[in-house]
Structure 1
Amino acid sequence: MRSGPERYQLRSSSTTDHSTIFGMHGIPEESDAAESEALLDDLSNISGEDKQSHRRKLIRRLGLSFFLFGLINNGIILFCNIAPSLVAKLGWPYVLKGRIRYSRRILGCCLLSVGGMIVVAFYDIIFMRLLGICFASFSSGLGELTFLQLSTTFHPPSVGGRSVSYFASGTGAAGLVGASIWWLVRGLGVRTGVGVSSVLPVVLPLTYRLLMPRPSAFASTSFPSEEQDSADTVPYVPLPTDDDTGIEDGLISKVALGLSPSDKWQLVKPLLPKYMLPLFVVYLLEYTINQGVAPTLIYPVPSRNKYWLLSHIIHSVRDYYPLWQLVYQATVFLSRSSISFGLPPLPARLLPLPAILQAAVLMILTLESALGIFDHKSQGLSFTFVFLLISIEGICGGLAYVNVFYRINQEQHEHPTSRDPERAKQEREFRIGSIGFSDSTGILLASLVSMPTQVELCRAQVARGKTLCKSL
């Protein structure tokens, strides 16, 4: 949607529609308003029991769609540089304005990700491989931003909240599924393995086009009373589809104004202490643990006589770090899935709690690495202690992510700043997109402090006679 003063335009007959963009089917997509009317007519002719079944089917499709968005978007990158992702999260919501065209953006993310992975797979030159990683990283950051913004287009608020919770669950599963995929294809070599994996991003536009129900499907379906919009919520008015240019089938329609930099600053100011700071702190501490402390949490290889179970897991000192990462990824998945599993979200006043607990975990694990809380004869106790702390780390990180984005999704429905439907829509999309860079900034800063942290912890271990870290 072009910015500037409001104007009227006429769409030409040569404008590209959804089916032309994706090339998947030849049936042109109707506007959300037309879909709403058609679905209302259909629902009025079926029984109450069939309506309940229809609602459950819509929720299942929505849940699966956003789970796949989170899974594929974050799981396809086996390794990446965080900077391009940070650029995408920082640049897109703050620089661009006007209506988001989700079909085009998702297709762009897919092409960037596929292109990046193909470059990594088929070029041996280090510059080209780094370029491919940057493409994939940028695609992942932009994709995460896009799918979180997409969740704000669903009404009533509880449906948007479910979208966020399923997306968070998918991103949590990405670490486990990504590692499993690499385990399966690693025997093919890097070039073939990454090349085969490059087909995965195609799932994103296919899911958006073929599986995910349109927002109008929920607007035309009644939900239980606890899922109705509150009295101060902007009533949902179906808007033109995300890819049209403001003109429908030769009819004249308005092109809405985009948010100005001043508008965006007024929207983002209250989000800084409430949402951005807790998310930034959690990720700074979390990735400092993962990259700076966890690699030094190593112990002698356990003997079979004394530690039968542990000896079957740890065969060399190099096995400790992958184990800690597995524990971390598993607990991140479980905690990011907490709301989609039916657990209640954290109250808004407790959003800083994961950051506080994460700080405690970092301090205790640093103490364990540098000084050793238990003596060298209590290896099993040390292992159990670290296992529990890494689990708490993953739980805190996952809870912070899903609850911050869930709360802002719900808050912007409950307390709109504009009564104009189009402007309210753009405000919701901007607010949830504006906080996405805080976790990436925390990760980037953690990468800068992790290396000296790891070096100093290793020196502290050597000073007390524990030299295992020097063998890595």
Structure 2
Amino acid sequence: MAPDIEHPDSERYPFGGIPSSKQAGDRRLLIKLGLSFFLFGLINNVLYVIILSAALDLVPPSTPKGIIAFCNIAPALLAKLGWPYMLKGKIRYTRRIVGCCLLSFTGMLAVALHEALLSRLFGICLASLSSGLGELTFLQLSTTYSPAAIGGHSVGYWSSGTGAAGLLGAFLWWELRALGVEVGVGISSVLPFVMPLTYFLLLPRPAAFLDPTTSIAYSALPFDDPEIPTIDTSEASSLLENEPKSEAVFLTAADKWRLLKPMLFKYMLPLCELSVFAPTLLYPVPSPERYGLLSKIIHSVRDYYPLWQLVYQTTVFISRSSISLGIPPLSVRLLPLPAIVQLAILITLAYESAFGIFSEDYEGHSIAFVFVLVSMEGICGGLAYVNVFYRINQERPDPSTVENEELAKQECEFKIGSLGFSDSSGILFASLLAMPTEIELCKLQVARGKLLCQGL
């Protein structure tokens, strides 16, 4: 059941002032909206996680695994950097979503059907481009729902879906890796088709959420994709017929810079995610005599890397679902806190990998310590993501002061779309740092007699 939604100004939604007989239908709309955005987040991000979890299986042992992380994020970063800043005019959501589906499908097939390293990296780049453009598109789509509480509802479930993607992707590859890259990745390639099916068959249109406290024109019509028929109402249809056609409007470069400047320190820096999973957090295979439960999970040294991914993605899912679970969002003042904690954890994990905090006789302590730190890093990363995007989604113009409704719509879309660049920049920096760091950490481990990293 969808949770009650609080308007940022403490006004209750949904559909104040309507007859109670319609409440059940309104509740179903909210459930469909939440489920749609959950599926968008789940499917859009799941291939990214599968590829990251499969890094050890996609490249030869001599190749730094950080190159997978780089190819898995760099094209997404280009998409998030290019589209919001260069696009002019209305967003064609239908074309974007279908295009993202086809790009992901083609990229995963390239990874599955070719063993050559360059071919696989090219396929990963295509899937990454699709994921970046998809994230941008669906977050922008959330701003087309009014009032702001409905947009926040969409963001909360989108974020929860992206967190679930991490968990599902890591789990899927844990199960599919035994089938090999060709079959495992090939099976995964059909997942993107869920996005257009959800968009066409399940997602309620913005016109379904008419807010009696605002004008119909502002809260419904301008936010609909012109390529898809909207849910019809007599008032909306009448307004559409009588409204004169206006000239195309778009944000100029000066407009975008004006909108961007206040967000640099307020939202972009807190969104930078610095998480490095060097495959050097390795320990001997636990013996059944000393570590009964752990020995059932870890069967070889190669199992540690996907295990850390699974732990991280589980905690990311929990924290990214915080708003959809009804947990109050962080205040704007606290938004930088998760990033600060992540940086401290990153330094600690690097020290553990290089020198070891516990002696080799107590590898169980080391495994438990890394487990806790990875869990904390996942929680911080998820909290930063969901809270930053929720806060920017809630920044809506007052309808009574809007002079050009289409321009106001584009401003909301640009603001939330421009933030993805910050998130991907942090991940890209981490992947670039991971490649030389992995090599150096392995050297430090070998120097102290720990040779496990050489066998990957």
Query: Which TM bucket (shorter chain)?
Result: 0.7 to 0.9
Greater gyration radius: 1
Structure 1 pair 130–104 and aligned structure 2 pair: CA distance change class (3 A): same
Tell whether 2:6 aligns with 1:63: no
Shift of 1:249: 7.6
Structure-1 separation of matches of 2:441 and 2:92: 49
Tell whether 2:296 aligns with 1:277: no
Shift of 1:416: 10
Corresponding residue number in structure 2 for 1:194 = 185
Structure 1 pair 393–413 and aligned structure 2 pair: CA distance change class (3 A): farther
Shift of 1:266: 0.6
Structure-1 separation of matches of 2:419 and 2:431: 20
Structure-2 separation of matches of 1:401 and 1:83: 19
More deviation, 326-335/131-140: 131-140
Shift of 1:66: 0.1
Indicate which of 102, 107, 114 corresponds to 1:116. Answer: 107
Corresponding residue number in structure 2 for 1:168 = 159
After superposition, the C-alpha distances for 1:329-369 in whole angstroms (9 at most, x for unaligned) are 11111111111111111111000000110111112222222
Matched letter for residue 386 of structure 1: V
Corresponding residue number in structure 2 for 1:8 = none
- Residue segments in structure 2 that go unaligned for 5+ positions in a row: 1-14, 52-70, 229-238
Structure 2 SS opposite 1:258: coil
More deviation, 78-87/263-272: 78-87
Structure 1 pair 401–383 and aligned structure 2 pair: CA distance change class (3 A): same
Structure 1 pair 356–92 and aligned structure 2 pair: CA distance change class (3 A): same
Structure-1 separation of matches of 2:123 and 2:289: 48
Structure 2 SS opposite 1:447: helix
Indicate which of 422, 431, 454 corresponds to 2:415. Answer: 431
Structure-1 separation of matches of 2:353 and 2:109: 40
Corresponding residue number in structure 2 for 1:98 = 89
Contact 1:157 1:413 in 2 (8 A): no
Structure-2 separation of matches of 1:123 and 1:367: 38
After superposition, the C-alpha distances for 1:241-271 in whole angstroms (9 at most, x for unaligned) are 32359x9789851133100001001100111
Indicate which of 43, 49, 52 corresponds to 1:72. Answer: 43
Structure-2 separation of matches of 1:387 and 1:348: 29
Structure 2 SS opposite 1:160: helix
After superposition, the C-alpha distances for 1:55-95 in whole angstroms (9 at most, x for unaligned) are 21111001100000001111134325322211111110000
Matched letter for residue 258 of structure 2: Q
Structure 1 pair 184–317 and aligned structure 2 pair: CA distance change class (3 A): closer
Structure 1 SS opposite 2:324: coil
Tell me the TM-score normalized by structure 1: 0.80
Structure-2 separation of matches of 1:438 and 1:169: 20
Tell whether 2:37 aligns with 1:53: no
Structure 1 SS opposite 2:396: helix
Structure 1 SS opposite 2:219: coil
Structure-2 separation of matches of 1:278 and 1:415: 29
Corresponding residue number in structure 2 for 1:208 = 199
Corresponding residue number in structure 2 for 1:238 = 221
Shift of 1:414: 6.8
Tell whether 2:256 aligns with 1:264: yes
Structure 1 pair 96–343 and aligned structure 2 pair: CA distance change class (3 A): same
Matched letter for residue 444 of structure 1: L
Structure 1 pair 364–190 and aligned structure 2 pair: CA distance change class (3 A): closer
Corresponding residue number in structure 2 for 1:444 = 428
Shift of 1:122: 4.0
More deviation, 145-154/108-117: 108-117
Contact 1:417 1:424 in 2 (8 A): no
Matched letter for residue 97 of structure 1: K
After superposition, the C-alpha distances for 1:103-155 in whole angstroms (9 at most, x for unaligned) are 12112212222233334444556554443332222111111000000000111
Give the superposed CA RMSD. 2.9
Structure-2 separation of matches of 1:257 and 1:119: 40
Shift of 1:165: 1.0
- Residue segments in structure 1 that go unaligned for 5+ positions in a row: 1-39, 223-227
Indicate which of 344, 355, 362 corresponds to 1:360. Answer: 344
Shift of 1:277: 1.2
Structure-2 separation of matches of 1:415 and 1:457: 55
Tell me the TM-score normalized by structure 2: 0.82
More deviation, 316-325/191-200: 191-200
Structure-2 separation of matches of 1:369 and 1:196: 34
Shift of 1:300: 2.2
Shift of 1:465: 3.3
Tell whether 2:124 aligns with 1:153: no
Matched letter for residue 253 of structure 1: K
Corresponding residue number in structure 2 for 1:406 = 390
Matched letter for residue 146 of structure 1: T
Contact 2:144 2:223 in 1 (8 A): no
